[in-house]
Structure 1
Amino acid sequence: MIELKEVNIENFWEVISLDVLEEQKEFVASNAVSIAQAYVQKELKPQAVYYANQLVGFVMTCIDRDDHEYWIYRLMIDSQLQGKGYGKAALQLIIQSIQSDKTKHCIYLGVEPENNIAVKLYQSFGFEFTGQVCGHENIMCLKY
């Protein structure tokens, strides 16, 4: 069972030790950078992804301070644990958690268009490209 837990002193070093495959490093910021970003952007919520009490990944979400909408800023599964369904299960849990807030109706995320694995995952959940581009990322939205 997938769980999301707070990043804290007990799991911090293990969380920042997680890494993606070499060919994925251009697509996602390191967990250390993400946690530092959350320190200065208080709306960001970094969380560790666990499966059966084993750390498998990292996610960071927020209600964006500019557009006041839900965003999935980061989602990564450790390179040694990819392909086991943890990313899909984590994304499903994140979406369910966000959708419990009936005051919002869309979840946004940015994805590098070359990151085919991520694009296919997000599309399998109903995310669609909006036509917006932010930096090098194309914006996707899941309406609910």
Structure 2
Amino acid sequence: MITLREINQNNWKECIRLKTTEEQEKFVASNLYSLAESKFYPSSVPLGIYHHETMVGFMMYDRMDSGYQNSGYFIWRFMIDKSHQGKGYGKAAMQAVIKLLQEKPGCKEILIGYKPENVVAEKLYLSLGFQKTGLIEHGDVLVYLPVSHQRA
């Protein structure tokens, strides 16, 4: 039902048209900003979240080369378009990226952050097995999923 696909010259405009609700804008950078940022961090991987042939969201991850544990991947962007929220796509997309990342060599954990007031994100991540690190970085609460203990 949900697939993750590379953002490329054929779908980047579709990606930047995706928007969060006005209330959620303070929680995540725009997709346009994220795609621009990905050009300066070439190891980052921007992905469209698709329900069949419709892009419903966006995520971007990168290998951790510093920071918390240096033994996995960091999901540093994640959003579902406002017109597609409440349909289970967020949870399905997170399960898909967890499966993708835990199959990568050397991935012992997956890290993601969220703003403390974003209770929806907190509930989603904790329901998938993420655990609080006790760290706050750039205003985000960091949670991690120990891959060796969890299979999506």
Task: Mark the runs of 5 or more structure 2 residues left unpaired by the alignment.
Answer: 148-152
Q: Residue by residue, what CA displacement relative to the aligned partner does 1:4-29 show, whole Å, maximum 9, x if unpaired?
A: 11111111111001000110000000
Counterparts of 2:79 and 2:117, CA distance in 1:
16
TM-score for both structures, normalised by structure 1: 0.96
What's the CA shift for 1:99? 1.1
Q: Residue by residue, what CA displacement relative to the aligned partner does 1:19-54 show, whole Å, maximum 9, x if unpaired?
A: 001100000000011111110011110011101111
Counterparts of 2:51 and 2:3, CA distance in 1:
6
Letter in 1 for 2:95: Q
- Divergent runs of 4+, >6 A: none
Instruction: Return closer, same or farther for 1:130/1:89 CA change in 2, 3 Å cut-off.
Output: same
Superposed CA RMSD in Å reads: 1.1
* 1:47 corresponding residue in structure 2: 47
Q: Is the 8 A contact 1:128 1:141 kept in 2?
A: yes
Counterparts of 1:110 and 1:65, CA distance in 2:
16
Counterpart among 132, 135, 139 of residue 136 in structure 1:
139
Equivalent residues in 2 for 1:46-125 (5 A)?
46-66=46-66, 67=70, 69-125=72-128
Letter in 1 for 2:45: K
How many residue pairs end up in the alignment? 144
TM-score for both structures, normalised by structure 2: 0.91
Q: Relative to structure 2, which stretch is displaced further, 16-25 or 97-106?
A: 97-106
Q: Is the 8 A contact 1:3 1:50 kept in 2?
A: yes
